[in-house]
A and B are shown apart, each in its own frame.
Chain A
Amino acid sequence: MSEALLAVRDLRVEFVTEGGPLRAVDGVSFDLSPGEVLAIVGESGSGKSVTAQTILGLTRSPNARIEGTASLRGEELLAASEAELRKVRGDRIAMVFQDPLTSLNPVRRVGDQIVEAIRAHRERIGRGEARGLTVEMLDSVGIPQPERRIDDYPHELSGGMRQRAMIAMALALDPEVLIADEPTTALDVTIQAQILDLLRRLNRERDLATVLISHDLGVVAEIADRVLVMYAGRVVEEGALDEIFYDPQHPYTWGLLGSLTRLDRERPERLPQIRGAPPSLLDLPAGCAFRPRCPHAFGRCTELPALETRGGETAGHRDRCWLTPGEKRESRAVGGRIALEEAR
């Protein structure tokens, strides 16, 4: 593996709330290499968005306690001053958000918002030149008639076009890392596929390191190289895409895979789901946080297992589950496919 472009170590984010301290992210570590697509998967509240936003300092507030390190080519981000971080945001690490309608300022022209991003980092680029670059960017993300679209307001574009414009804005300064936070969730299925194609193309053409945040394993399967599965603020399993899909070690991952609809299999009568709801981050169960929802939980699960290679076949495939590799292989096979068994 080549040297890490972005290295996150033991990231912890805690928010002070009226209900007590809320640990949103608890010890997340990962490496991202140039050209790699890393997917962070989990339900809402699993800490995936907070992880990404914290890297850019967007969760900084008097109520947030942030620990750990995140370094971009050896440059520490979490401890950086706001002014230093501002130079990284948009220029070296760019971000695309879930809902392109609310993420663009509704009363300013799309082009102006992209020009603004360019000029925030390149003072020497004049308005006219920045406008030219913007047209080029809009064109490269597949927006037809970019020289006309540049003067549209966000509500005048379709959902897919808006997300393309967001991506153009993120890539305008040729960043090293793109963080895409649920980039397709707010879009129609056909548009989702187009946006994923676009992200994959840009990732290849520009050797762009990408962090893709999603709750949808179907989306992840399309473009990810490696996958981090998060649950209640912790990484419960990580590995290469194929390892996660064909040799998953953690019951939560089985549950996610089991609830996927697949075109190559007969559709089950009722889509399986993981029973129960994610725990409150204010009141996490001791040990494995998935324990209350896990049909395979046993006595030892009240102790938190470390994230390490257990049943996986490579050093990069690690999980947090006490079951033995044999038990895992046996338990995850439900009706000829991988799934989380319903309550015992």
Chain B
Amino acid sequence: MARFAARRLLGMLLVLVAVTVIVFVIFNVIPSSDPAARIAGQRGATDPQLIANINREWGFDESLPVQYWRMMEKVFGGDLISYTTRQSVDEQIWEGVPATFSLCIGAAVIWLSLGVLFGYLSAVRAGGLTDRALTILALVGISMPVFWLAAIFLYYLTFKVELFPSGSYVPLTQNPLDWAYHLVLPWLTLAVIFVGFYSRVLRSNMLDAMHEDYVRTARAKGLSDRQVRTRHVLRNSLIPIVTLFGLDFGVVIGGGAILTESIFNLQGVGQYAAEAIENLDLPPIMAVTMFAAFFIVLFNALVDIAYAWLDPRIRLGGSAR
């Protein structure tokens, strides 16, 4: 376990270095990304002295490796400042975290429970009417783009029927009911594609598992159909779902919710990232990218631990990469 943790920690560091270098390089080669011009604004176009001053003041005249190093120092020192708003990037991210986590965790609960429920029902009634209806639903869910679904929700449920608020985030500590009420549509928007996907994966896993020898053994022991399905078929079919879930959840927290957050104006980390990208504002882009990479790597490690726990044939450390 210690070896596993050490290797994962080292891996995380390497990933973070690689990701930040790539972001930094890309930022410096794309056109019109010169930060001095952005900071100078309108006046910069006519006043080369101002640009030069800014370059010196912010260190943009240094070589790229030095600039990269300075930026990393600021990231880990916690005093990274946005080029455009001059606000502390750390503070902005911390402010966005509750909204992002509320959105992602809530959506995850929905997609996991509905995905498993629909997949189970589909597999049990394979070939029947329920299965066909759920199959169509799943395919519709998988095919619907997030922005389109969100627009439909907003148009019909918010403007036409006025059933739900159009978005924005209410802190959980302020009013739990309002918090949930404001998040219902974003949760559904984010969860739909995963519900469809998970139910399909679980269905096919379960149908495969039903033909396994150990399922025949379980029936020969005299277990009821339901016991065989839950204790043997479902139990074993959930292992890949757990893997998928860990990976997807890491991705969603680390930026997969950008569209949903922006459309529903949740002021989360994803929306912050979207704005930073729009303004070509390197410090927040860098910080949010690292935030994302951190969660993706973290959940990858958690998935491996969960996997070893769920399937005793797999050992951590050992021969795994």
Contacts and interface: CB of A to CB of B under 8 A. Distances in A.
B214 A103 contact: yes
A86 to B, nearest CB: 5
A116 B213 contact: no
Given A107-B236, A153-B313, 14 more contacts: A86-B222, A89-B219, A89-B220, A90-B222, A103-B217, A104-B214, A105-B214, A105-B217, A105-B232, A106-B214, A107-B235, A107-B239, A108-B231, A120-B221
A293 interface: no
A91 B224 CA distance: 13
Interface in A70-117: 82, 86-91, 94-95, 97, 99, 102-108, 116-117
A120 B214 contact: no
Given A105-B214, A107-B239, A155-B312, A120 B220 contact: no
Contacts of A102: 212-214
A200 interface: no
A87 B236 CA distance: 25
Contacts of A121: 222
B243 to A, nearest CB: 14
Nearest to B220: A95
A58 B220 contact: yes
A167 interface: no
A104 B221 CA distance: 11
A169 interface: yes
Contacts of A137: none
| The 8 nearest A-B residue pairs measured at CB | A90-B222, A89-B222, A102-B213, A90-B221, A117-B221, A105-B214, A95-B220, A103-B213
A56 B221 CA distance: 10
Given A58-B216, A103-B217, A104-B217, A120 B225 contact: no
A107 B311 contact: yes
B313 A97 contact: no
A89 B225 CA distance: 13
Interface in B179-232: 212-214, 216-225, 227, 231-232
* Among B216, B221, B224, B311: residue with most chain A CB under 10 A: B221
A106 to B, nearest CB: 6
25 contacts: A58-B219, A58-B220, A86-B224, A87-B222, A89-B219, A89-B222, A97-B216, A102-B213, A102-B214, A103-B217, A104-B214, A105-B235, A105-B236, A106-B214, A106-B236, A107-B235, A116-B218, A116-B221, A116-B231, A117-B222, A120-B221, A120-B223, A121-B222, A153-B312, A155-B312
A267 B235 CA distance: 51
Nearest to B223: A120
Interface of B: 212-214, 216-225, 227, 231-232, 235-236, 239, 310-313
A169 B313 contact: no
Contacts of B219: 58, 89
Interface in A138-160: 153, 155
B223 to A, nearest CB: 5
A94 B218 CA distance: 11
A58 B223 CA distance: 12
A166 B221 CA distance: 11
Contacts of A89: 219-222
Contacts of A106: 214, 236, 311-313
A82 B239 CA distance: 30
Nearest to A57: B219
Contacts of B217: 95, 97, 103-105, 166, 169
Contact of A105 (B218, B220, B222, B310): B218
A105 B227 CA distance: 14
B212 A90 contact: no
Contacts of A82: 225
A117 B231 CA distance: 12
Contacts of B312: 106-107, 153, 155
Contacts of A117: 221-223
A104 B222 CA distance: 15
A169 B220 CA distance: 11
Nearest to B218: A105
Nearest to A112: B231
A155 B214 CA distance: 13
A204 B160 CA distance: 80
Nearest to B215: A105
